[in-house]
Structure 1
Amino acid sequence: MSNHRFTGWNTSVTTYMEPELAVDAAVPLNRPGEILSPAAFLLLMEGLSYAIFSVGVVGIIGNSLIIVTYSMVGFSDSVNMSYLAMAVSDLGCVASIVWSGLCWNPPFQSLLALAAREVVLPTGGFSTTAFAKVTALTTAFVSLERCLCVVFPFKVKTLITHKRTMYFIVLNYVVHIFPATLVYIAVRFKWKFDEQTNRTVLGVTYMQTAKERSLVDFIWLFYSLPLQFIPLITVVVCTIFLVINLNKSAQWRKEYSSGNPQVGQNRRGSKSRARSREDRIGKTVVVIAIVFIVCSSPAALNNASTRAQPEHRATGQYRNLNLFVAGSLACLNALNSSVNVFIYYGMSSKFKTALNKLFCLVDN
């Protein structure tokens, strides 16, 4: 029976090992032509683990604050529901990435009786990918909602209701989280003796029946290219549209104020105030989208390249480089899931006021 084994940082950039290439995930390969030597690879991965931990701590604290703050602000705007859902998925994503990073950190490995580089994929890799997909599709949904507000300003409230937003959020989580849990059908945690550390540690064994291998193949396929590129392309198109509209809106306000200076200085009227409010929300979405595009595009391109060129995969000649790139992309992913608290605080007056009240920085 084939001795398949898994390795890698997360499911979006790795594949299961062919029998003749099956190796322990804890041992980097030293193949002819490999760009990173085993020593350099382990040193770089340890450095990445510290970087990911630093970013991750900020992300865990920041997303926790977003969840609490938007619970205080309320959900009179459906977009707040999406922000809250995104914060929950970002929290899950960054926590999974931090755990994955710690599994590559030697001091951490010595603390627990774990074969850390074996357990990292089923305990951190699949959940990282699942939560990242939730965040990606939520970002696409928010961007699309802002575009509909521009195209159908008087109908958008009937098109995207609170109930429909809630249905989308629940469906988004179920569709992306449930497949990641199926991997545990093929995974068995077992105690084994580690000769290097001379102690018994908890490791992972993957079941090898045709049914279980087909199940894992399905999970790989499900989290494959279409689900990665569709939200990214949607966000890119919507962001371009929103930027063009915001520029038009800025020009309109300029002409409105210059044509009616008294109104521009004292009161802009309900139409102007409503448009300014929509513009602020639009700008917030644009900034979130730009951060998402910058942090997600490298992962999408790397995913495409690993599938097009077998030598760039975890089973190929440049395995060490593949895993290091995957770790670097995980750090970008953690960054994407950690910065929203600063965006909301700088661009949303309601969020800023609620957060200040939370820390008793303003009078209630």
Structure 2
Amino acid sequence: MLKVYVKMYVQSTEEDTARYPALDQMTDNPFHLREDHSNDSSMLNVADGILSDEQFYIISLFMIYLSQIINICAIIANSLSIAVFVKLGFSETSNISLTALAVCDFTLAVIYTWCNLCFWLTYHNVHLPFHSANVSYLTGCAQFPFLSSTIAWITAFISFERCLCIIVPLKVRRFITPRSTFAAILLIILITFCPSFFTYISYKFVWAFNSYLNRTILNTNPVNSEFAILLEKIFLVICGVIQPLVAFSIVLICTLLLVIQLRKISSWRMSVTSAKSQRVQPKENPASSSSAAEARISQKEERLVRMVVAIATIFIVSYIPTCISLLCHVVFDELNMFGVYRRLSIVSAHITSLGQPISGSVNILIYYKMASKFRSVFRRLVRLDRQKQKRNELE
């Protein structure tokens, strides 16, 4: 059955130019396997030798199905996280940052789901009133690097904020307030995600008549403007390559500092506990009660820092393939969606796109495990406590 699908797909790709007459003038059709825009025949042979038609089809289709499952899990997980944080309120700065992170993860998962659906329709040659592969670029794929940059910088801001709260706790509380945190998150979104709309300067939607379907379909065409192309490349390099790598470096450095500081706090607490156990206090006085309150506060802060470290660690692990892919796309000119190695580029994009939805899906488990308030509100939200109470009554 799979071989029949492969043969149908290869035959359909040879007929793409006849079905979509606007495509033979366009260079933004990465799924047109028989077409190449390179003048170097040797490079073409090397590219064809990396992935055959059958290998490309099988790998791409498998990655689409796998990615779609992960994206659905990410949508559900981040929807629950947003609902819990809304119920918790935004009096604490950490709730604002984590809510913004959940919203961005949710948005990215929705866009991934839409693009995977469009890719699936392209692979199976489903006739629609729009060219699914090309339309998905402007309605989703073009926002990937910018939204990834936004998630990276929000994670960097969360790590940097916790790092300051541990190193200079008295000074940082003066200027890190809910209002300033909200302003910082809004500024990050404006700087990192809003430039994605400059993509619509280089491309535009067009209605083109399709002779094969005998009807007009929605398609995309590049704008023949050197300034628009240059502007898109500049913003793509800045927001899609430089900014994520800088944010990744900040997260890595702050996570290392937090881990070092946590070890110092743990060793200090162990020494204090051992010193107190050697002496017996007959009665609790106000001084000891105040010190106990301070200990409780520090433990709460420590739990929050441990949660941030866990989130940052998962982000670092999941973002390493994306960083490698970005660097490879910068070094190798033909490794892109419209170059000689477009098949390899598409497969690598499918693989690296799994990292952030997985990270967004796992975050809710970290919140549930390490945040007691989140856990209690989450259990009330999904009515786990009521079900547990009913089971106890039945027993």
Same fold (TM over 0.5): yes
* Counterpart in the other structure of 2:29: 24
How high is the sequence identity, in percent, across the aligned residues? 28
Matched, 1:48 2:63: yes
Q: Say if 1:190 and 1:203, in contact at 8 Å, map to a contact too.
A: yes
Residue of structure 1 equivalent to 2:158: 142
> Within 1, Cα distance between the matches of 2:146 and 2:29?
25
Tell me which moved more, 20-29 or 345-354. Answer: 20-29
Per-residue deviation, 1:20:
10
- Partner residue in 2 for 1:347: 370
Match of 2:188 in 1: 172
What residue in structure 2 maps to residue 191 of structure 1?
207
In 1, Cα distance between equivalents of 2:28 and 2:168: 56
2:146 matches 1:130: yes
Q: How much does 1:161 deviate?
A: 1.6
- CA deviations on 1:93-137 (whole Å, 9 max, x unpaired) are 111112122222148862743311112221111222222211110
Q: Which amino acid aligns with 1:245?
A: Q
TM-score (norm 1): 0.86
Residue 292 of structure 1: aligned partner: 315
- Provide the C-alpha distance between the structure 2 equivalents of 1:272 and 1:249, rounded to a whole number of angstroms: 11
Q: CA deviation at 1:315?
A: 4.4
Q: How does 1:145-160 map to 2 (within 5 A)?
A: 145-160=161-176
Unpaired runs of at least 5, structure 2: 1-23, 36-43, 390-395
Aligned-residue offset at 1:193: 4.9
SS in 2 for 1:339: helix
Matched residue count: 344
1:230 corresponds to which of 217, 237, 246: 246
Tell me by how many angstroms 1:224 deviates: 3.8
Distance 1:29 1:242 in 2: 52
1:178 CA drift (Å): 1.7
Equivalent residue, structure 1, for 2:6 = none
Distance 1:175 1:42 in 2: 37
Q: Alignment RMSD, CA only?
A: 2.6
Going by fraction, where is helix more abundant, 1 or 2?
2
8 Å Cα contact 1:64/1:91 also seen in 2: yes
CA deviation profile, 1:260-305 (whole Å, cap 9, x unmatched): 2379xx9871121111111110111011101111111221122112
TM-score, structure 2 length as denominator? 0.80
Q: Is the 8 A contact 2:311 2:366 kept in 1?
A: yes
Secondary structure, counterpart of 2:30 in structure 1: coil
One-letter amino acid matched to 1:32: N
> 2:113: which partner in 1?
98
Alpha-carbon separation, structure 1, partners of 2:327 and 2:206:
34
Shift of 1:206: 1.5
Which of 298, 301, 307 in structure 1 is aligned with 2:324? 301
Evaluate the alpha carbon distance shift between residue 21 and residue 125 of structure 1 in structure 2; reply closer, same or farther with a 3 A threshold. Answer: closer
Contact 2:205 2:219 in 1 (8 A): yes
CA drift at 1:345:
0.9
Corresponding position of 1:65: 80
C-alpha distance 182-23 of structure 1, shift in aligned 2 (>3 A)? closer
1:331 counterpart letter in structure 2:
L
